[in-house]
Structure 1
Amino acid sequence: MGSVRAKRTLRIGVDVGGTNTDAVLLDLDAVHQPTRGVIAFHKTPTTSPNVSDGIEAAVGNVLQQGADRISEISCLIVGTTHFLNAVIERDSRRLSKVAVIRLSRSYTKDIPPFSDFPPVLASLLHGYHGYIDGGLHIDGSQEAPIIEEQVLKQCESIERLGIKAVVISGIFSPIDQHFHQEAQVRSIMQRRLPDVDIVCSSEISNIGLLERENASILNAAIMKFARRTIQGFRAAMKRLGLDCTLFISQNDGTVINSFAAAKLPIKTFSSGPVNSMRGAAYLGLGQSGSQGEERTSTIVIDVGGTTTDCGVLLPSGFPRAASAYVTVAGVTMNFPMPQLESIGLGGGSIVREHDAEVSIGPDSVGYQLTDKSRVFGGDVLTTTDIAAANGLDIGDPRRVGDITTELIQRVHARTKKMLERVIDRLKLTPAPLPVLLVGGGSVVCPLELEGVSQVVVPKFHDVANAVGAAISRVCGSVDAIYSIADVALSEVLEDAKTQAVASAVAGGAEPSTVTVVEIDTLPIPYVSGQIRVLVKAVGDLSIDYVAESKQLVDEEDIVVEAASDAVEDPSATFKEEPTRSKFDFDAYRPTVKQNPDTGIHEWIVSETDLEWLSVGCYILGCAGGGSPKAEFLKLRDQIRAGSIVRIIDSSSLSQDALIYWGGMMGSPAVSIERLNSSECITAVADLMEYLGHRSFDAVMGLEIGGANGLEPLLIGSSHAFDRPVIDADWMGRAYPTYWQTTLAVHESGQLTPCAIASGDGKTIIMTKSPDDEIVDRALRASCSEMGSRVGMAAKPTTTDRVRSYGVINTLSLSWRIGRTVARAQQESTIHTIAEQIIDEVGGPITAKVLFRGKITAVERRIFKGHSYGEITIAQAQTDEEEQEHDAPAVAEGGVLKIPFKNENIYAKHIAEDGTEKYLATVPDLISVLDTQSGCALGVPEFRYGLLVTVLGITCSPRWSDTKRGLEYGGPEAFGYKVDYKPLGVFVEPKSVVLEYAT
């Protein structure tokens, strides 16, 4: 008889941390036993610079403990923060220079690649950037075809600079199903530059060019290092006699085979903390890794040698996702990551005494704990020394015998306070929650904490991260644009689900265990017949899966490259960002100067002012207007280059002033792909030419909400027309249509003539109109044919109209709101940000907290180019609410419904007994704030699970004091037969110019 192949029910899980490398041997057939199937475990210091040595040592140890069961091992799963650390530490030995090639003939040049990177990281990674024809429109048509000669010319520059990592970034590349432009360019480049790593942005993330490109740059920068590292892992496996598949764990608690991970290392950035959380739940809550069931949200505290990572496990057993704003090493990305809070507390944290005070960290002896801490014979006092002095059986207790009881108590109290603060930031209710305490450094933590129902230290807690790696599952996902013009939506969803399941199986999932866990559909504004579909399927890792075998790099290259990493001081190449000390909000004064030529006081906008204006504009956008980020970056770069941006008070306008005004029109989905700023400037220039104006006196904004709040600053910048911007606009918020302005409310016929420009050579001028409403409809129809995004310049207006009909001092209001958010973020008072904003805009008579809770449903649809839909916000459960607030919400319990048409229309509360009440309606402002950051959420960012605070602000009487104002801007304008009841009393914002004039 032939030999029977051993049943492969064993897995090895490994986690490579900054201090220790942990390994476990797990038996999947014994998960219900008290040991949870853990056969063997081992912890060893992480080796530097070659981490594979530490892996080999840890895995070799558990294999020895597992005796002769090596043939039963189905896979080795490694979780590592090694790739992330290379970025955070700005390590030039592990990061490659990157060239970025943008595909677009007419757009994106106003915000070059790396604009959103911290300066030190940008200088380290920015190798080159160039532009070639290409790019798509939002409907999938080509902006321009790829020209091979242009690609080859860029290849010459890249080759001349010796750059070995390239990112190809095309406008709307994620929806490119017909031309495959990024793939075309890659194919040409690979023939010309065969030894260069090339990353297509569409394979990294989705819509949002700058954020997608940022993620692609980080991925490209570490590909060579990732390939080298993973090959080192495989070489270690070979030396250990392991013939199983190597997997790398990902950010969401699932796995990817090592060959795919070498191409997409960014997917592993947060795998370490996620593994700890998953492993903690598996060990401490008695849940199986495959079922992932958990009865309540649980806080997991993972204490390492240097830092403590804290997160929340949801009932699904997977981590709570981060808020809508995700940054890694200071770089903003649209890439899914778990929400984590980290503090400088670990087993190697250095303890210092300062008179009556004691400090812990944030610096640490890290992996040198057994050399430098006192209990092991060193001379550095660490938290481990304090724990040893308090009775922990570690090292030589005689070496810490001089540590006093008083010092032990003070360190204990400080540690307790540090943990309680981070728990408070994670908790969403004052009610106590259970805490799972894991990690090798957890021995330094107290077991009694305020606001905690119980602290559970599970068996094998110090290797929970390795256990989490071992129990990882496999995910398959689809994120694609489908045409539903001739196909039923149900068929599209079935196709997407089938693809997601097939992707999971191809990635190693056992087919019988795969289930679809997430389905979402997102309409695309201004594009009829297409829809974005997101589907996620998850299954158990098959014990028979074997990844495709291919060599990552030559073994000889591994030896040479690894040797080149061996420097004496591993931190030698670490580059700190310039330290930014705490900002003195009370001392800061915006620069307001008297113009010597005109005698007018002008507010000269600084970079700080611009940051605050940007945040405030989005909050006043009421979920509409589009994100101001692109406009902020353009203006920031202009200011850094020496351009001047001026704001004036409306009272300083001369009686005969000629005032141009306008803003962007179109889809937010286009705005986050195109990064151009010339559309409005072109529209103004073309309208000036049509009207015969050689110049004008000032510029004013269409709306203060969202990106359009900053648009007049771009027009007025010395980089463009060099004209002052009036501290006012025609809405005092954001509205979806051009005619919904206070100017149109109080006087008809003031919208034409007007011009719209696409930024790629197309301009339309509308000369006359019988009524105001048709102007918007006509322009919006043209806008759709011009790429669904245009700049608009309206009929120039007069000083009398600005003062009589405009909403005054709205730039000042945005600045004050943004300053309030920045102060709250610095002072860690985000939990009361709504109350602080209320104080800034006029107090409780003007604004109110309407509701607090979590988004539980998001419905979207597109009709005639506008984004319609509704969000449902449920009162958070007892384990999900935010910490205590200074003021109660207007309504509590039940749910809040907020329908939107680009902007939020009303807030209707539905109590548990079914009673309904309108808490606020347009034209009053209804803003949804991200509870975790204090910043606004726009319609594109609405998603299930986000914790939000709903803020209501009373509108300007320009809207509410007349019947026509309510017809244009009230519920009736949106088709709702709801009576408008003022939220409160309007308080006119205080002018920054007048307050700070010298």
Structure 2
Amino acid sequence: MSEKGSYVVGVDVGGTNTDSVLVDVSKTGSAAIVSSHKAATTSNVTLSVRETLKVLLAKSPVDRKQVSAIAIGTTHFINAIIERDSSRVEAVAVLRLASYNFSAGTPPFVDWPLGLKNIIHGYSAIISGGCNIDGSLIAEIDEAVVRAQAETIKAKGLKNIVIVGIGSPTDGQYHQEQRVRDILRESFGAEVNIICSRDVAGNGLLARENASILNASILNFARRAVRSFVAAMSHVGLQCPLYLTSNTGHLLTFSEAMQFPIRIFSSGATNSIRGAAFLVGSQIGQSGCVVVDIGGTTTDVGYLLQNGYPRLAKSYTDLAGVKVNLEMPSVESVGLGGGSIVHLSGDQQKVLIGPDSVGHDLSTRALCFGGSELTTTDIIVASGEVAIGTKPVSIPGSIIVKTKDRMKKMLEACIDRSKSSPDPCTVILVGGGSILCPKELQGVEKIILPEHAEVANAIGAAMAKISGSAEMIVQGSDIQGGIAKVKSQAIQDAVLKGGNPTSVTVLNEEVVGVPYVQDQTRIKVEVALPADHEKVREEMSQLAGMAFNNNVAELFEETKTHEVSPNGNDSALDKKIDFGTYWPRVTENGIWVLSEIDLRFLSVGCYILGVGGGGSPYAVYLQLKQLLAEGETLTIMSCDDLKDNDQIPTVAGVGSPAVSIERPGGDGIIHAVKMLSEELNTKFTQLMTAEIGGGNGLQPLICGSSKYYNLPTVDGDLMGRAYPGFENVSTYVMSDSINALLPVTLCSGTGQRVLVPANQADETAPGRMIRDACVAMGSACGAAGVPLSGKQMRTMGIPNTHSLAWRLGRVVCRAQQSASLSTIPEAIIEECGGDQTARRLFQGKIRSVESALTTTAHNLGKVTIESLSEGEMEGDADKAGDWTEVVIPFMNENLAVVGKDAKGEETVLATVPDLIFLLDVSTGENIGVQEYRYGLKVTVMIMAPHPIWTTKRGLEVGGPSAFNLPYEYSSTLRYTKPRSVIEEFRPKDQT
């Protein structure tokens, strides 16, 4: 008999079933499982929890007093958001601490779906505050302003407040969010929920803000739900601490769960992975393995690391149409489950599976139970592999073979996307639908089906631990001392949450240099500790009393009020405008007046022309959308319409992408243009971008808008792509000195200004001065460069690059709208002028990525892409050619493509200055180097550069030797001048 208090109950509430398990934590593996139960999930999940606990404990001989804790994983909270249920989701006030100059262009809720925004956006304001990425101060808190904001919020009757400060994750000195919270608390007392964003998520202002807002919007609902769980426990005689499981596989105490319910949103998949780890123990292996969880409706596949935790996603996550940066498991899902409906074509020659499912109605709707729906379970029953149901099932053998083959391919594709390398992997199979998995899978060395696999998710909940984390920037070279200090802080964080420090598991140590800054290192440490249940027992007893001071019937009551936007969807993009027939607005005098659709096309196309670098245009795109929403005008004009004496400065954002995502929507460029105008005593007539690729391609549209300078942006740039260096521009190619690019003005947007003057004797000095100034301004700033005349722009600039970006983006958006993604490469080739101008080189799957950040903040590395098997190819053409793989080195941007044949012989297929870009097969859109990861299917394409780059001087500045590549440039591509959107769509003279 196990000692008293060694039992833990785990519950996982899924969309189809609610699973529960009683675990003896003094044992390991399947021997630890005392009892389990699987029940259908009801619309009121609290009732599901109560009923599954009742049956589970009735099955077990264990006295309820010996249960030391219960851990529950649920999708209940995210469902309230997805369903836009205004009875559970409340309005939120947002106070953003930021220099107005840094983020006014992207205010709170800027990228939200309109229906959800209508429910949650109660009030928002930007007030003084914020810190730089290195922790230094941007602006002080104004306490009087904070108190005035409190009165405004109070007058609106709002009960949920989010405080989000620029740079708050690295604010280790000023504690601005906490100070504002304390001031607000003086005004509101304990009646209002106040959330600091740094407690919710990490770097990335808009995504952290979004996560904090979603969290605040369901706080009161979460508290009701947690209290109802306590009531359910009491109904079945459990008087122990309650925990909820988090997205990362850890325990949240009841008080933490009520404060941060967003951390529970994706706990189901994590629980399955953690449960699989517990059941197989040492069989995980040094390199980890893949967990395949087949449920009633979907199959979720994730990678289990050697430490027993899931691999987390590295990119932002979309929750109900809102972009957030929560730590979430990296999970691939496919609509394949035990209840998935099998669809047959009219002649039964083709089989499709799902995504619709009979779910937990399998026992009444499937053929094997006397129902009328053909499900995947029926296929397995008819094949004779399992005996399930009450009725015999007779299905033609050809249908069985085709359906099983389809299920096999669906599983193999999902597993392959989840693997960390091309080597055969071990699969741990869990979930109630595990009968669908064949005994052998391509790319899988071994399949393990552990005992109790059907309730692995509940087991994962039961075995979770308390987590802690800490982060700081260390000055100097004592990195190990810094790691020890941060680790100690992480352990203390876990202890404060209820962890027992006698056993510490270090989950992650992240040590990276601060971009552009010497001798500064950012260190982050995450740990896991076993829970000390006695620490929370007393507080839990108080909560139980609170639960029963309320009407128990009300706690179990569930009401839903769904919000439907009175104005339809979010924007013009959602109003089903046909992208194929869309006609941009160009005036008779040749001014292209941009719409939201034009912005979408331009942003997609600019990212393609970023050729792997340039940074995502997303934040700039949001700022431009906001300007249109405010009634401002954005315009573009043709190089051909410029006057000889026009004065056109080049503008760009300079600095680290890590800073730009923390300081979006700033007006540093606006100030830089003003400073340059004053320095030169010149009135500018148009604006232009230095590089069309990436976010900078859209930057001049902001300061050229009617809100600021009301100047058109010239349809052209100085690169025709993105390049990593200040000097990689056409004006430098056509000049004898770097002074042709000077003067340059740099502005932070908050008063810091730097002039890089002309007449520099050292060709490398301007680059160093720009980098030093950028660091002093928080590693990001706006820049404006010496203006070109209209005549110079026509002779030295690269024309119609905005037109090219628009056309590339239109190709992608059209294909997305018509669900014809496989046609994108050929459509791009045609749009660019044929296969003499652009080509598809290769289609394959990323096999490996090597990457490092240099001291100059350049992302340096290479990506290897292997050819696909015939069954993996998209479309009907051979897109691999003679190459088994290609290797692409990059320095922010892709620099070359080297093909390898079956004999291992290498051939250089393309180099800079050719434009080399990778398109995601699943979306058709560009992939930046920061997004490269194993398993991603991509199409490698190349495009001819402007002829200026193929001259001798052009190759010296932007060819292989400029990046220390041991290759000679050789290309059969021929440049075709992009067709001007303005000339094509300008109204013709009807006379």
- In the superposition, the TM-score normalised over structure 2's length comes to 0.84
1:694-752 Cα distance to aligned partner (Å, 9 max, x none) = 551x3321111221111122233333333332221101222344332111210344333
Query: Which position in structure 1 is the counterpart of 2:880?
Result: 888
| Preserved contact between residue 930 and residue 946 of structure 1 (Cα < 8 Å) | no
Does residue 68 (structure 1) correspond to residue 62 (structure 2)? The answer is yes
- Mapped to 1, the partners of 2:707 and 2:836 lie a distance apart of 41
- Mapped to 2, the partners of 1:795 and 1:843 lie a distance apart of 37
- Mapped to 2, the partners of 1:826 and 1:469 lie a distance apart of 41
Evaluate the alpha carbon distance shift between residue 887 and residue 273 of structure 1 in structure 2; reply closer, same or farther with a 3 A threshold. same
Evaluate the alpha carbon distance shift between residue 746 and residue 129 of structure 1 in structure 2; reply closer, same or farther with a 3 A threshold. same
1:167-203 Cα distance to aligned partner (Å, 9 max, x none) = 1111111111111000100111122112111111111
- Mapped to 2, the partners of 1:510 and 1:214 lie a distance apart of 33
Q: Work out which of the residue numbers 63, 67, 77 in structure 2 matches 1:83.
A: 77
Query: Which position in structure 2 is the counterpart of 1:859?
Result: 852
| Preserved contact between residue 861 and residue 869 of structure 1 (Cα < 8 Å) | yes
Paired residues in the alignment total 963
Give, in angstroms, the shift of residue 451 of structure 1.
5.6
Give, in angstroms, the shift of residue 632 of structure 1.
0.2
Give, in angstroms, the shift of residue 968 of structure 1.
2.6
Does residue 96 (structure 1) correspond to residue 90 (structure 2)? The answer is yes
Query: Which position in structure 2 is the counterpart of 1:236?
Result: 232
Q: Work out which of the residue numbers 327, 330, 348 in structure 2 matches 1:339.
A: 330
Evaluate the alpha carbon distance shift between residue 12 and residue 883 of structure 1 in structure 2; reply closer, same or farther with a 3 A threshold. farther
Give, in angstroms, the shift of residue 210 of structure 1.
0.6
| Preserved contact between residue 374 and residue 380 of structure 1 (Cα < 8 Å) | yes
Cα RMSD for the two superposed structures? 4.5
Give, in angstroms, the shift of residue 300 of structure 1.
1.4
- Mapped to 2, the partners of 1:605 and 1:185 lie a distance apart of 40
Evaluate the alpha carbon distance shift between residue 5 and residue 319 of structure 1 in structure 2; reply closer, same or farther with a 3 A threshold. closer
Evaluate the alpha carbon distance shift between residue 350 and residue 405 of structure 1 in structure 2; reply closer, same or farther with a 3 A threshold. closer
Query: Which position in structure 1 is the counterpart of 2:13?
Result: 16
Give, in angstroms, the shift of residue 607 of structure 1.
2.0
- Mapped to 1, the partners of 2:507 and 2:867 lie a distance apart of 22
The 5 A counterparts of 1:292-371 are 292-293=284-285, 297-298=289-290, 300-304=292-296, 307-314=297-304, 316=306, 318-322=309-313, 324-342=315-333
Does residue 186 (structure 1) correspond to residue 204 (structure 2)? The answer is no
Give, in angstroms, the shift of residue 223 of structure 1.
1.9
1:741-778 Cα distance to aligned partner (Å, 9 max, x none) = 11121034433344333222444555532466544443
The 5 A counterparts of 1:840-919 are 843=835, 846=838, 848-849=841-842, 852-862=845-855, 866-873=856-863, 886-888=878-880, 892=884, 896=887, 898=889, 900=891, 902-903=892-893
Query: Which position in structure 2 is the counterpart of 1:618?
Result: 607
What amino acid sits opposite 1:806 in the alignment? G
Q: Work out which of the residue numbers 27, 32, 38 in structure 1 matches 2:24.
A: 27
Residue range with higher mean Cα deviation, 315-324 or 622-631:
315-324
Residue range with higher mean Cα deviation, 449-458 or 468-477:
449-458
Evaluate the alpha carbon distance shift between residue 849 and residue 962 of structure 1 in structure 2; reply closer, same or farther with a 3 A threshold. same
Evaluate the alpha carbon distance shift between residue 9 and residue 336 of structure 1 in structure 2; reply closer, same or farther with a 3 A threshold. same
| Preserved contact between residue 89 and residue 574 of structure 1 (Cα < 8 Å) | no
- Mapped to 1, the partners of 2:862 and 2:974 lie a distance apart of 28
Long gaps (5+) in structure 1 = none
Identical amino acids, percent of aligned pairs: 36
What amino acid sits opposite 1:226 in the alignment? A
| Preserved contact between residue 276 and residue 291 of structure 2 (Cα < 8 Å) | no
Give, in angstroms, the shift of residue 656 of structure 1.
4.4
The 5 A counterparts of 1:538-557 are 538=528, 541=530, 546-547=535-536, 549-550=538-539, 555=545
Find the residue that maps to 1:647 and give its secondary structure.
strand
Find the residue that maps to 2:125 and give its secondary structure.
strand
Give, in angstroms, the shift of residue 545 of structure 1.
6.5
Query: Which position in structure 2 is the counterpart of 1:532?
Result: 522
What amino acid sits opposite 1:260 in the alignment? E
Give, in angstroms, the shift of residue 916 of structure 1.
8.4
What amino acid sits opposite 2:292 in the alignment? V
- Mapped to 1, the partners of 2:681 and 2:660 lie a distance apart of 31
Does residue 466 (structure 1) correspond to residue 474 (structure 2)? The answer is no
Residue range with higher mean Cα deviation, 754-763 or 327-336:
754-763
Q: Work out which of the residue numbers 147, 150, 156 in structure 2 matches 1:155.
A: 150
| Preserved contact between residue 127 and residue 163 of structure 1 (Cα < 8 Å) | yes
Give, in angstroms, the shift of residue 628 of structure 1.
1.5
- Mapped to 2, the partners of 1:682 and 1:625 lie a distance apart of 22
Long gaps (5+) in structure 2 = none
| Preserved contact between residue 241 and residue 537 of structure 2 (Cα < 8 Å) | no
Query: Which position in structure 2 is the counterpart of 1:169?
Result: 164
Residue range with higher mean Cα deviation, 846-855 or 159-168:
846-855
| Preserved contact between residue 664 and residue 680 of structure 1 (Cα < 8 Å) | yes
The 5 A counterparts of 1:797-876 are 797-822=788-813, 843=835, 846=838, 848-849=841-842, 852-862=845-855, 866-873=856-863
- Mapped to 1, the partners of 2:16 and 2:77 lie a distance apart of 15
- Mapped to 1, the partners of 2:815 and 2:33 lie a distance apart of 46
Q: Work out which of the residue numbers 760, 773, 777 in structure 1 matches 2:750.
A: 760
Q: Work out which of the residue numbers 713, 738, 741 in structure 1 matches 2:726.
A: 738
Find the residue that maps to 1:135 and give its secondary structure.
coil
Query: Which position in structure 1 is the counterpart of 2:975?
Result: 987
Evaluate the alpha carbon distance shift between residue 658 and residue 415 of structure 1 in structure 2; reply closer, same or farther with a 3 A threshold. farther
1:290-325 Cα distance to aligned partner (Å, 9 max, x none) = 875487743614323xx3142233453544543624
Find the residue that maps to 1:178 and give its secondary structure.
coil
Find the residue that maps to 1:734 and give its secondary structure.
coil
What amino acid sits opposite 2:166 in the alignment? I
Evaluate the alpha carbon distance shift between residue 875 and residue 660 of structure 1 in structure 2; reply closer, same or farther with a 3 A threshold. closer
Query: Which position in structure 2 is the counterpart of 1:481?
Result: 472
| Preserved contact between residue 921 and residue 939 of structure 2 (Cα < 8 Å) | no
Evaluate the alpha carbon distance shift between residue 867 and residue 642 of structure 1 in structure 2; reply closer, same or farther with a 3 A threshold. same
Give, in angstroms, the shift of residue 100 of structure 1.
0.7
| Preserved contact between residue 90 and residue 575 of structure 1 (Cα < 8 Å) | no
Evaluate the alpha carbon distance shift between residue 978 and residue 5 of structure 1 in structure 2; reply closer, same or farther with a 3 A threshold. closer
The 5 A counterparts of 1:567-582 are 570=560, 578=569
Query: Which position in structure 1 is the counterpart of 2:633?
Result: 644
| Preserved contact between residue 174 and residue 202 of structure 1 (Cα < 8 Å) | yes
1:195-249 Cα distance to aligned partner (Å, 9 max, x none) = 1111111112222111111111111112222222222223333443434433222
What amino acid sits opposite 1:809 in the alignment? N
1:253-301 Cα distance to aligned partner (Å, 9 max, x none) = 3333332222222222111122234435655xxx12x875487743614
Find the residue that maps to 1:812 and give its secondary structure.
helix
Residue range with higher mean Cα deviation, 513-522 or 184-193:
513-522
Does residue 496 (structure 1) correspond to residue 490 (structure 2)? The answer is no
Does residue 6 (structure 1) correspond to residue 3 (structure 2)? The answer is yes
- Mapped to 1, the partners of 2:551 and 2:643 lie a distance apart of 69
- Mapped to 2, the partners of 1:387 and 1:822 lie a distance apart of 38
Evaluate the alpha carbon distance shift between residue 94 and residue 214 of structure 1 in structure 2; reply closer, same or farther with a 3 A threshold. same
Does residue 270 (structure 1) correspond to residue 266 (structure 2)? The answer is yes
- Mapped to 2, the partners of 1:725 and 1:13 lie a distance apart of 60
Query: Which position in structure 1 is the counterpart of 2:580?
Result: 587
- Mapped to 2, the partners of 1:912 and 1:870 lie a distance apart of 27
| Preserved contact between residue 580 and residue 814 of structure 2 (Cα < 8 Å) | no
Find the residue that maps to 1:528 and give its secondary structure.
coil
| Preserved contact between residue 181 and residue 196 of structure 2 (Cα < 8 Å) | yes
Evaluate the alpha carbon distance shift between residue 557 and residue 158 of structure 1 in structure 2; reply closer, same or farther with a 3 A threshold. farther
Evaluate the alpha carbon distance shift between residue 982 and residue 813 of structure 1 in structure 2; reply closer, same or farther with a 3 A threshold. farther
- Mapped to 1, the partners of 2:187 and 2:163 lie a distance apart of 15
1:396-449 Cα distance to aligned partner (Å, 9 max, x none) = 75xxx9x9857x987996797477447535524999988766544667x58589
Q: Work out which of the residue numbers 650, 655, 659 in structure 2 matches 1:661.
A: 650
Evaluate the alpha carbon distance shift between residue 715 and residue 394 of structure 1 in structure 2; reply closer, same or farther with a 3 A threshold. same
1:896-921 Cα distance to aligned partner (Å, 9 max, x none) = 57463x54556779999999887655
| Preserved contact between residue 604 and residue 926 of structure 2 (Cα < 8 Å) | yes
Evaluate the alpha carbon distance shift between residue 837 and residue 615 of structure 1 in structure 2; reply closer, same or farther with a 3 A threshold. same
| Preserved contact between residue 98 and residue 165 of structure 1 (Cα < 8 Å) | yes
Query: Which position in structure 2 is the counterpart of 1:722?
Result: 710
